[in-house]
A = this chain, B = another copy of it.
Amino acid sequence: MTDLVALRRALHARPELAFTEIETAAKVVTELTGRADSIQAGTAVCDLDCVTGLPDPDQLEASRRRALASGVPQELVRTLGEGATGVVVTVRGRRPGPTIGIRFDMDAIAVGESTSPAHAPTRGGFASTRPGIMHACGHDGHVAVGIELGRRLCADRDFAGRVLLVFQPGEEGVRGAQAMVAAGVVDDVSVMLGLHLGIDLPVGTVAAGTQGLLATQKLRVEFEGEAAHAALAPHQGRNALLGAASASLALHTLPPHGDHTTRVNVGRLVAGTAAGIVPERAVMDCELRADDETVLEWLRGRAGDIVRGAARSYGLAASVTQMGAATVARCDARLVQDLMTAASTLAAVQTSLASAPMRASDDMTLFMSHVQERGGVATFALVGASSPAPHHHPLFDIDERALPIAADWLERLIRAGL
């Protein structure tokens, strides 16, 4: 087993949710400290002011305790433990050249990993040790590739320019990129790269760009009504649970767009307190997506109408807070070409595509658009990983042969010059 695979498996076994990636970020820091030119972490690279919905103090405290128990040094826990878990590692090449940013996202999601022996991590003994949390999107692989790439670039400085390895928290919920962009970490970047493992491609296939990435808004909807004794005075209640139930159904009845791809999901609903009380409060976590910003705004308008209408119907106060956002992607032809050329030098790559569809959302797009708006170029590349199940599924997995492909590909690109 190579270091790269071992690293990925260690990360896979210790998944961490958005903004509590202390062990993961600490792994980045400890692996590259003493090698890289500089390593910045915490609030220096993560502006938490633009993050809504950080984990609550109890959750942060629990994540700090967990990290300490697993051996993360106290000082690192202090730096990373308030939600600002981002890390930026700088490696300078021997020769002058552009500033190249590469994003690696670190967080896991709230999915319980399959315990089936058919599932490789379970069979291999490196499945998640944390019930209900899983690296079901390949970010464990991303981080491992990022560390491996860092090691290689540090070990051999034969490349032009300066590489910033941007380890981002909270991609799920599309909240972490905002914070790092706001902290200015890619302000000087003129070439921005990101990569994703999986996305329905088989191992051996790569794509130098993507199409179809969906702009998205993550919304928290809160309803507030009035509690009442459900038997003695039901008429005095204003039922927030029913308002939220009605709004959930209505949001899912939003029509598809005749000319665009859209998605609506109410992913979480928590309402009420006890069987005998008319529910006073309800919270919904929703997301809207579209392949076009204008269509997303249209969807946002209709979703807002639904929330306000449900509030009116059930006599509730309602609020909608944007928790996260990502935009669509435009992959620059020049950079795509450079990646295609680099891919052609890799024996393990059988098929290299200029572009492949990725009909999800990723806040990598915020790094891209920020760099592009400032005159730089950007792309989001895909590395096939032959997952037997879709992303976010308890049986999601990556074929580990994808890991060296990803690391080699990025290394070749950088060493070839940009």
Binding site for B on A (CB under 8 A): 109-111, 132, 172-173, 200, 214, 216, 218-219, 227-237, 239, 241-242, 244-250, 252-253, 255-258, 262-263, 265-279, 282, 285-287, 289, 298, 302, 305-306, 308-315, 323-324, 359-361, 390-394
Question: Are the CB atoms of B268 and A255 closer together than 8 Å?
Answer: no
- Report yes or no: A287 in contact with B230, Cβ–Cβ below 8 A: yes
Which residues of chain B come closer than 8 Å to A237, judged between CB atoms?
255
Distance of A263 Cα from B309 Cα, bound (Å):
24
29 A–B contacts from the bound complex (CB under 8 Å): A219-B275, A227-B392, A228-B390, A228-B393, A231-B258, A231-B265, A231-B359, A232-B258, A232-B360, A232-B390, A239-B255, A241-B269, A242-B266, A244-B269, A245-B269, A252-B255, A265-B278, A267-B272, A268-B273, A268-B274, A269-B279, A270-B271, A272-B285, A275-B286, A275-B324, A276-B392, A305-B312, A305-B315, A309-B314
Which of A250, A276, A391, A394 is most buried by chain B, counting CB atoms within 10 A of its CB? A276
A177 to chain B, nearest CB (A): 15
Cβ 8 A contact of A273, one of B111, B273, B305: B111
Which residue of B263, B272, B309, B323 contacts A268 across the interface (Cβ within 8 Å)?
A: B272
Q: Quote the shortest CB–CB distance from A291 to chain B (angstroms).
A: 10
Q: Please determine whether B258 and A236 come into contact, CB atoms closer than 8 angstroms.
A: yes
B245 touches A314 (CB 8 A): no
* Contact partners of A309 in chain B: CB under 8 A: 309-314
The minimal Cβ–Cβ distance linking A307 to chain B, given in whole angstroms, is 8
Cβ contact within 8 Å between B302 and A315: yes
In the complex formed, the residue of B with least CB distance to A313 is B309
In the bound complex, residues from chain B placing their C-beta under 8 Å from that of A230 are: 263, 265, 267, 287, 392
Taking CB atoms, residues of chain B closer than 8 Å to A287 are: 230, 275-276
Number of copies: 4
Point out the residues of chain B lying under 8 angstroms from A302, CB to CB: 315
> How distant is the Cα of A263 from the Cα of B218 in the complex, in angstroms?
25
Which B residues are in CB contact (< 8 Å) with A249?
Answer: 242, 245-246, 249-250, 253
* A227-B268 CB under 8 A given contacts A111-B273, A255-B235, A273-B110: no
Cα–Cα distance between A214 and B270 once the two chains are bound (Å) = 28
CB distance A267 to B263 under 8 Å?
no
The complex places the Cα of A359 from the Cα of B272 at a distance, in Å, of 22
Query: Closest approach, in angstroms, between the C-beta of A418 and any C-beta of chain B?
Result: 30
- Give A253's nearest chain B residue, CB to CB: B252
Given A305-B312, A309-B309, A313-B305: A172 and B276 interface contact (C-beta under 8 Å): yes
Cβ contact within 8 Å between A306 and B313: yes
- A173 and B274 form a contact (CB under 8 A): yes
The reply to whether A256 and B256 form a contact with Cβ atoms under 8 Å apart is yes
- Kindly provide the distance from the CB of A274 to the nearest chain B CB, expressed in whole angstroms: 5
A276 contacts B173, C-beta separation under 8 Å: yes
Q: Find chain B residues with CB under 8 A from A228 CB.
A: 390, 392-393
Q: Are B241 and A277 in contact (CB under 8 A)?
A: no
Contact B229 A392 (CB under 8 A): yes
Residue on B nearest A137 in the bound complex, by CB? B229
Residues of B within 8 A of A173 (CB): 274-276
Task: For the complex, give the distance between the alpha carbons of A346 and B25 in Å.
Answer: 67
Interface centre among A218, A274, A394 (most CB of B within 10 A): A274
Give the CA-CA distance A172 to B230 in the complex, in Å. Answer: 12
In the complex, are the beta carbons of B267 and A269 less than 8 A apart?
Answer: no
Within the complex, which residue of B231, B235, B266, B323 is in contact with A360, where a contact is CB–CB below 8 Å? B231
Report how far A274 CA is from B109 CA in the complex, Å: 8
By beta carbon, the residue of chain B nearest A218 is: B275
Rounded to whole angstroms, the CA-CA distance of A199 and B219 in the bound complex is 36
Q: Are B313 and A229 in contact (CB under 8 A)?
A: no
The answer, among B246, B277, B289, B323, for a CB contact under 8 Å with A110, is B277
